[in-house]
Amino acid sequence: MALTGVPVREALDSALVALRAAGVDTPRLDAEVLLAHALGIDRTRLVLEADRPVEGAAVHAFREAVRRRAAEREPVAYITGTRGFRHLDLQVDPRVLIPRPETETLVEAALELPHGARVHDLGTGSGAIALALKHERPDLVVSASDACPGAVTVARANARRLGLDVEVHLAHWLDGLGLELDALVCNPPYVADGDRATLAPEITRHEPAAALFAGPDGLDAYRAIAPLAPAWAAFEVGDGQAAAVAGLLAAAGLTRGEVRRDLAGIERVVVAWRS
């Protein structure tokens, strides 16, 4: 793209052509987010500034961002380094899964916990679930952990930057943490190993495999964590996994429960508690 001095409108059009040709799903949205990021302005201002020339450092930044998005199919959130989740802007990079909108269903379930409950976010990644919970329910005692040192670094940095009091531990599941908990929330890896080919290149090439894959049927993580559940647990599940996960929780003594659907109508969260 030869961009220097071209107006915002034309810069967007040429990016659109490149992103479409690369097979990107949402080329206009992505072009707008990347140009707004390169210019250091809010995306909504692009319309008002359609005739503004793209100049200086923004030219290289936008060209490089579009190249990464098109040629490498890198997710927009890794290029801009941020992702919105609930009411928070989280910093993300390839050490962590990009938080998904459907995970908000899990947060909504946990928002119903009683005052002062001690809740742990297992496999916290960027810290999305734990930090959103602490932000919206400051009365909860929220902790988090992840087995990936890079994720722990990212989650701790997000907690510090957002001023949220969430302790983030490095651990294989709850091993060695000795926490006294009332509730466990978890969005574990749940993709069956054999489903790798069905995932978009944005996911398989860029997101951490440890955040995605969980054995031949995608249930290995649930088998490991269901027995760790305290009195109440809420787990995000993949499409079609709710019954199996509810069964694992029931076998661990959490015999009462319900399944919550996400905005797409998919059974997305299994909530279970001891009777």
Ligand X SMILES: C[S@@+](CC[C@H](N)C(=O)[O-])C[C@H]1O[C@@H](n2cnc3c(N)ncnc32)[C@H](O)[C@@H]1O
Q: Which residues bind ligand X (CB under 6 A)?
A: 97, 99, 103, 123-126, 128-129, 146-148, 151, 172-173, 187-189, 210-211
Q: Considering all CA atoms of the chain, what is the largest pairwise distance in Å, rounded to the nearest integer?
A: 67
Of 16 and 259, which CB lies nearer to ligand X in the complex structure? 259
State the Rg of the chain over Cα. 20
Do 226 and 251 contact (CB within 8 A), yes or no? Answer: yes
